[in-house]
Amino acid sequence: MDESTGKRKSIPAHVGIVMDGNGRWAKHRFLPRVIGHQAGMKAMERTIDNAKDLGIRYLSLYAFSTENWKRSRSEVQGLMGLFRYYLKGKMESMHRRGARVRFVGHIDAFPDDIRDIVKAAMERTEDNSDIDVIFCVNYGGRQEIVDAVKRLMAQEIEGPITEEMLCRLMYAPDVPDPDLLIRTAGELRMSNFWLWEGAYSEYFFTDVYWPDFDRSELERAIESYAGRERRYGTA
């Protein structure tokens, strides 16, 4: 414990989550996939509260990947409907909770009304500083790197190209790299999440489906993280 703040010192500053398993959660209950996504939204709200409570400063949530367009039309439409509902209904309470809401990814591919609400939510909450909640929507780690390279090519570059130059051109350059990346539902992969930023992240995998992810599971992940030694290549 840090005596001055009462918070544990080993709390990661930035936690990223691949929120996976909504479909399987629903399937086990003989329910349509969209009901799983609905339950996933509740888990997301709960996790934002728990993260803030535990002193996590940045929480990034992988909500829709650049590859998720490959799903059925009805599932994609169902997800869009849920985003719309969530964004309209929950942003004010996110603001009251002191959360700064951010979105990274190609939002331009989304329907106009969703883009408008996204913009309004970012503006409404931009001065909040209790926790940054970064929704990764239509996000792909490879796409992010391609976008950074394109922006670099559009500049007049003097001297050699460095890692720092590219770092500054990523989607959220002010956000520290994720300390801890969590994936639910038993798959042992990152599926194109934070490819550049996750170079030295610690990974935590759990079999729990995302709709069942609760405070004890988040605490378990943090506990595991706290017991690790991060060496960054040193001896």
Per partner kind, with CB cut-offs from 5 to 8 A, the member of ligand IPE, Mg ion, none near residue 151 is none
- Binding of Mg ion by 20 (CB under 5 A): yes
| 34 contacts: CB under 8 Å, gap ≥ 6 | 26, 75, 78, 79, 82
Tell me, by CB under 5 A, how many residues bind Mg ion.
Answer: 1
Q: Which of 20, 132, 197, 217 binds ligand IPE (CB under 6 A)?
A: 20
Choices 6-14, 15-23, 115-123, 153-161 (CB under 6 A): range interacting with ligand IPE: 15-23
Which whole-number Å values give the CA distances from 230 to 12, 56, 205, in the listed order? 12, 18, 18
Binding mask 45-84 for ligand IPE (x = CB under 6 A): -----------------xxxx--x----------x-----
- Binding of Mg ion by 211 (CB under 5 A): no
Three-state secondary structure string covering 76-102: HHHHHHHHHHHHHHHHHHHHHCCEEEE
Q: Which of 12, 15, 22, 86 binds ligand IPE (CB under 6 A)?
A: 22
Q: Report the DSSP pairing between strands 58-65 and 131-139.
A: parallel
* Integer Cα distance of 59 and 53 in angstroms: 12
* Strand locations in 66-179 (E): 99-104, 131-139
Minimum CB–partner distance for residue 139 and ligand IPE (Å):
8
Query: Which contiguous run of DSSP H or E holds residue 121?
Result: helix 112-125
* Integer Cα distance of 172 and 135 in angstroms: 11
Active-site residue, 68 included: yes
Per partner kind, with CB cut-offs from 5 to 8 A, the member of ligand IPE, Mg ion, none near residue 201 is none
Q: Which structure tokens are listed for 148?
A: 């950074």
Choices 108-116, 163-171, 184-192, 227-235 (CB under 6 A): range interacting with ligand IPE: 184-192
Active-site pick, 20, 22, 50, 132 = 20
Minimum CB–partner distance for residue 190 and ligand IPE (Å):
8
DSSP one-letter code for 137: E
* Integer Cα distance of 69 and 110 in angstroms: 11
Helix and strand numbers, DSSP H then E, in the chain: 7, 6
Choices 13-21, 32-40, 75-83, 217-225 (CB under 5 A): range interacting with Mg ion: 13-21
- Binding of ligand IPE by 187 (CB under 6 A): yes
Active-site pick, 22, 50, 53, 68 = 68
Q: Give the residues lining the site for Mg ion (CB under 5 A).
A: 20
Please report, as ranges, the residues that interact with ligand IPE according to CB under 6 A: 18-24, 62-65, 68, 79, 185, 187, 189, 191
Residues that are catalytic: 20, 68
